[in-house]
Structure formats: structure tokens, C-alpha cells
Structure 1
């Protein structure tokens, strides 16, 4: 009799168990959009509560990292006319520490102090008749940039120091990835083990997608006119970011100027690498490295990717195939990760 009761109880519990629910959230943040897919296997999470937590998390990240918010922590740091150490939050310190690591390992090509160069080249506020900056203007901007020489992160007490009052920190190339990771942490803390968080193309995934399969993401061909998928990759349990030069650029007098600035020369990159995708353990490092490796270009970037064990896909313009021909190259770690998925 007891055994029959146990069997009946098991059937009852199985019948009461709800099917997983796929929750979707989307909105605007950091000057772009976000999209989140979370699978609630217990079917008892509050969608409203989760949305509120996501919104609060993104608001906090913006309040610390946004260069467009004049009241954000980083904007306040930039506007401070001093070379004295300025106390910063643990969150900002962790992002700057990651930026310093990538800066050092990328031969200085990843640089969060390039704001003056970005400004004089006119990206973000450029009009068709804006002039190309003069050599003198570039030289003047170069004097206040160079992350390794004009910015110091102090651990005790936790603070950030500018060697020149006019130095500024621009976090667009790493803060989106950080925001992705922070939202992912909210989902994990809520007990969600299967999710995809994406902000402006940077993303991180965990577990499986709503179909119970590995998360697979398409990488766009670096041709703004085609909107074609160049390659589909498995990204379950990984962060992913793509950086390209094919949407944000201008042409003047027959010369194409990329928005990716070489912090050493002070000028836009000129190599043929059009897009770089990085897979990493989190979205922040994928975000930063994608920008760094695009600045380096495939030839130099692949050497660093191999020495650092980075999973990278380069897409370069093919000189033999015209403007719409591309060639892909992957690092050893990228190939290894895809073989394991």
C-alpha cells in the first residue's frame, strides 16, 4: 500500500510541475538596445520583479560608466581639473583594471584615453564638411592620451589619477560588455541557469536556448549594405563581442577613414581587417579585446591572440575580390572552442 501511495504521489508531483517559461526583456540602454532571453524552469519567477532588477542594474552601470551622462562617475572624473587621486567605486576600478590589462597586452592599441583623438576626428558628431584634422591638432591630442602614461589606478586607497588635468577616460569599448555581465549576474542570482543577455551586439550566454540546444549566434558579414550572416558560432557558456569598421567611417577626397583610432599614430587604422569577433569567459573581456584586435589588425592581432590563448575570428577584406570579398581567419583557441561545442 505504501508503495502504491509513493507511486501515486510521484505522478501527482509530475503532473503539478509546470513547463519551463521563456521570459523576454528588451529596451534601451547605453545609447543602444538590449535583448534578454531567460528560461524559467520553475515557472515561478516574477517577470515584473526580474525586469525591475534588470532596469536597476543597467541604471547603476550607466550611472558609473556613461560618458554621455554628465553626472556619471566617469564624467565627474573626466571633468575634475586636478591631478590628485580621485576615489572611485569598486565597479569602476574593476573595469579600469581590465582595460589596463588589455592595454598592456595589446601593445597599447586598446586605450580608454583616446577621447581627444576621437573628438578631433569628428566621430559621433561629424558633418560631411568637417575637415580632416591637421598634423598639429593630432600632435596636440596625442600629448594628453596614452593610457599607460596618463592614467594610474591605485589600489590603496582605491582611486584613479590623471597625470594631466585634461586627460579623459572613454569606456565605450568595454562598458557595454561589463553591463552584459552585470545583468547576467542578476539572472544567475535569481536562479536562472539558461539565458542570453545582449547589449548592442555584445552578449553572454549560459545553459541552453529555449529549444534545449546550444546557443548559436550569427556573425554579420562586414558589409553594411548586405546584412548577410558570414558565420554561425556556438557560444554556450561564453561571452562574445564583435568590433567592425564598416558602419562608422567617413570618406573625404577618396580616402576612407575608420572610427577605430590607432593611439600610437593618432590616426584611423588603415589595414584591411574589417571585423573581429572574440569569445571569452565574460562579455567585458570579449568587448575590450574585440576593439583591441581590430585596432591591431589580423597580422599583428593573430600573433597576440595565439600568445594569449584568445578565441578570435578575423574577417578581412580580400584584395583580390573587390570591396565585397572577405576572408576569415581564426585563432587556434577559437577553433578548439567550436570543436568542443
Structure 2
């Protein structure tokens, strides 16, 4: 996944080696199924396949695909798992980075291959048809799914107290050895190391953040974010700097954070409130940052 993982847990010392092997095996499985950076992964083989071919997906891949398509339908395409051609075109995929923005024709050509409605997926049969030129990219949801796989594995092993983190997405259960909760600080863009937008206690809860200030490139005096709007074919260009979402499933928190970021502050906040989501929005106002939170998020915040 191009990142690191970390797990804090309470367990017998004699079990640690076995647990580490189990954790790594589950993350390796996610990579083998859904990494567009691995040429022999299930998703890469699908993306290279011929038009009209049907592919039976592994159970994990199918679960993530179903969730991604459901969110695509619910957001009317603001979230779209077929965004791969645009991700590569803008230099944020396996095709490599770029130093200049693509021209309008290149964007139009890539966008012609994007569209979640083109993906014919039979959830019951776990079958996904290749319509021709489709390039599925699940990077905005698979990492969260990996967190869930690890957390669920640990719970199955009787580990009631753990904090799982993969590339900044987290899910926590139980408490630390001193009986205090697993507290997680939400980063404040532009803030110092000791500055946080909020602090959340995770117990049966996951947290994920999507932001435009980590991955981007600058060209001709303009910054291009890695968060792309599949409806326009271009990086987002609004004042929203980041969105953090809390959810019982990290897979859902991960994807929802991306979807809300694409929707923007106004439409994103409306969507979050309509669905009762716990979400924190960080917006740019000149050189400063301001936060907006949903009632569900406020209810989860740790009090000073």
C-alpha cells in the first residue's frame, strides 16, 4: 500500500510473533487483491483484461467493490471506483508523477473511460465484467478495509484491547493498559506538532482523514491535489483542506472522507448531516484554517 502499519495491543508476550504474522498475512492479502501498484494483483489483472470478460472476485475484493459502488450511487458519482484513468493521468498512480497539468483533450480522453455505471457487478456471484478500458482504483477505500481486516482478526484472537493504524487510518477497541481510552488527535493543517483540530477516543470506532495538503504537485503557480473529482476529471479546487470521518468500519470512514472532500464544504456537510455522519471539515479562509463539525462528531469529541 506504499505505507506503514502499526498495532498497539494488550496480549501475552508469547503470542506476539503469531499475531504479527497474522496481521501481515491479512494486509498482504489486501495488497494481492486490490493494489494497482502490483502488476499481478487481482485488480491489475482486471484492469488489463479484454472488453466483455467476466471476473470472479475474491471475497474481500467483492466486499470492497460493493461498498464502493453503493457510495458512488449514493453520491451521484462524486465518489467513483472507476477513477483509475484520471489518477494515472494526473500523476498520482503507477504511471508515475508529472510536473505539468495535462491538457483538456487528455483529460477528456481519460474521463471517457470513467463512470461507475459502466461497471457491471453481480454481488451475489462476486462477478465483475470489464466493459472495455475500465480501470478500477480502490485506493480510497482498500486501506481502510485493511485496517478492518486486522482489527477483526485481533478480535477473533481474543484481543479486546488494540489500536490498529495503516497509513494514518485507525480503528480502536477497548483501552490502554492504564485503563485510559485510545485517544487520537486529528491533525490541524498548517498547525504545529502540538496543535490538533480535535481529539477522539476510539473504542469500537474508526477514523479516517482525506486532505489535499499531503499529496499534490505545483505547476504554473497552481497547486493540484491528489483528490480528483471524477465528475470534472480534475483535482478539487475549493477551500476545503481536509475531511475527517468517524465510523464503526474504517472502510466506510476511508471512502466517506474522500467522497465528502470531493463534494466540498457545503454539499459535503449537507450529505453528512443527512446521513447522520460524524465528520469534521477543515476549510481555508485566507491564510487561516477554520473547522466545521457535524453534531454527530461533536458528540464524539473528547472534552478538554
- TM-score norm. by structure 1 comes to 0.84
Query: Which residue in the other structure is 2:178 paired with?
Result: 211
Give the match for residue 327 of structure 1: 290
Quickly say closer, same or farther: Cα 1:123–1:157, change in 2 above 3 A: closer
Q: Distance in 2 between matches of 1:100 and 1:144?
A: 16
Is the aligned partner of 1:154 residue 2:125?
no
CA RMSD of aligned residues (A): 1.7
Measure, in 2, the Cα distance between the counterparts of 1:33 and 1:178: 15
1:250 to 184, 197, 217: 217
Choose between structure 1 and 2 for higher RCO, CA contacts under 8 A separated by at least 6 residues: 2
Q: Which runs of 5+ in 2 are unaligned?
A: none
Deviation at 1:229, TM superposition (A): 2.6
One of 120, 124, 149 as aligned partner of 1:182: 149
1:16 corresponds to? none
Aligned counterpart for 2:88 among listed residues 102, 119, 131: 119
Deviates more, 1:150-159 or 1:169-178: 150-159
Task: Kindly indicate whether the alpha-carbon contact (under 8 Å) linking 1:216 and 1:236 is maintained by their aligned counterparts in 2.
Answer: no
Specify the SS of the correspondent of 1:173: helix
What is the rounded CA distance, in whole Å, between the counterparts of 1:273 and 1:156 in structure 2? 38
List aligned pairs for 1:63-78, cutoff 5 A. Answer: 63-78=32-47
In structure 2, how many angstroms separate the alpha carbons of the residues matched to 1:313 and 1:210? 29
Moved more, 306-315 or 251-260: 251-260
| Partner Cα separation in structure 2 for residue 120 and residue 52 of structure 1 | 37
Structure 1 equivalent of residue 135 of structure 2: 168
Contact 2:201–2:302 (CA under 8 A) maintained in structure 1: no
* Contact kept in structure 2, 1:106 and 1:293, CA below 8 Å: no
SS at structure 2 position matched to 1:232: strand
Equivalent position of 1:191 in the other structure: 158
Deviation, 1:44, is 6.7
Cα deviation for residue 145 of structure 1 reads 0.2
Match of 1:62 in 2: 31
In structure 2, do the counterparts of structure 1 residues 79 and 72 end up closer, same or farther at CA, with 3 Å as the change threshold? same
In the TM superposition, what is the alpha-carbon distance from 1:185 to its structure 2 partner? Answer: 1.3
CA distance in 2, matches of 1:181, 1:123: 25
Distance 2:178 2:263 in 1: 38
Give yes or no for contact 1:235–1:279 (8 Å, CA) kept in 2.
no
1:82-129 CA distance string (max 9 Å, x none): 2232111121111001111211222311111111112222225224xx
1:19 equivalent in structure 2 = none
After superposition, the C-alpha distances for 1:231-273 in whole angstroms (9 at most, x for unaligned) are 2222221011011000211222222211111111111111101
Unaligned runs of 5+ in 1: 1-29
Which of residues 195, 200, 205 is equivalent to 2:167?
Answer: 200
* Alpha-carbon distance in 1 for matches of 2:124, 2:146: 26
Residues 49/156 of structure 1: CA separation in 2 closer, same or farther (3 Å cut): closer
Alpha-carbon spacing, 1:156–1:53, altered in 2? closer, same or farther (3 Å):
closer
Question: Take 1:279 and 1:58, find their aligned partners in 2: how far apart are those partners?
Answer: 22
Determine the structure 2 residue equivalent to 1:35. Answer: 6
Structure 2 match to 1:135: 104
**2:281 aligned residue:** 314
Match 1:144 to one of 113, 121, 124 = 113
Distance 1:328 1:37 in 2: 29
Name which one, 1 or 2, has greater alpha-carbon Rg: 1
